[in-house]
Amino acid sequence: MKKNLITAILMTAVTTMLLGLIYPLAVTGLSRIWAEKADGQIITKHGVIVGSRIIAQPFTGPQYFHPRPSAAGTNGYAADNSGGSNYGPTNQKLVDRVKGDVATLQAENPGKPVPVELVTTSGSGLDPDLSPAGVDFQIPRVAKTRGIGSDELSKLVSEHTQGRQFGVLGEPRVNVLELNLALDEKFPVKK
């Protein structure tokens, strides 16, 4: 009995030191090597935080590229309430919302098929990226609103399109926040 008690106390002390002190300090130390990534990949402009590379932001004006719809939080894009709607494909609320979004997008860009990511939310509701097709669909609206040529805007989109990671993982994507910031810098909205 005494031997088992000593073993239990020693194991508790050792695991407490390893998992409660040494491991957290090691992970915190390693995170400082990649501090920009560990701190949320914050984007600043003129010393002011404008967003994060890894969390979608709402853009609603016609002069901006819009991200995927979000079901995170009651107003969408709430990073503290990440999650999808959990509506199944036969849920009437989901069907009605998607039909309404498709109708709005088709009116904006008649005759072009609407990319599915522009009418469906991601699992987290905070996906910061769109496929090149999702961005290309929006080029006519953004170009018209900003008074620039679609070719100029397509070139900017190409510059901000990231390929597959390591050439094989994932799909090509465009970070909507970074694209919109570059858009404001290169082609400011005329007032």
Q: How many angstroms separate the CA atoms of 164 and 133, rounded?
A: 15
Contact status, residue 145 vs residue 63, Cβ threshold 8 Å: yes
Query: What's the length of the chain?
Result: 191
33 and 65 in a common domain: no
46 and 34 in a common domain: no
Contact status, residue 43 vs residue 52, Cβ threshold 8 Å: yes
Whole-number CA gyration radius for the chain: 23
Q: What is the pLDDT of residue 80?
A: 72
Q: Which residue in this structure is represented by tokens 């969408």?
A: 76
99 and 71 in a common domain: yes
- Domain membership of residue 191 (yes or no) is no
The per-residue pLDDT for range 75-122, each reduced to its tens digit, is: 677 777 777 777 888 989 889 989 999 999 999 888 899 999 999 887
User: For residue 191, what pLDDT band results from cuts at 50, 70 and 90?
Assistant: low
The per-residue pLDDT for range 164-189, each reduced to its tens digit, is: 889 889 899 999 999 999 999 998 87
55 and 16 in a common domain: no
Work out the end-to-end distance of the chain between its first and last CA atoms, rounded to an integer number of angstroms. Answer: 83
Both structure tokens of 15: 């695991």
Q: Which domain holds residue 19?
A: 1-39
- Domain membership of residue 104 (yes or no) is yes
What domain count does the chain have? Answer: 2
The per-residue pLDDT for range 30-87, each reduced to its tens digit, is: 888 876 777 778 888 888 888 888 888 888 889 999 999 887 766 677 777 777 777 8
168 and 78 in a common domain: yes
pLDDT exceeds 90 at position 135:
yes
77 and 153 in a common domain: yes
pLDDT exceeds 90 at position 137:
yes
Q: What is the pLDDT of residue 140?
A: 94
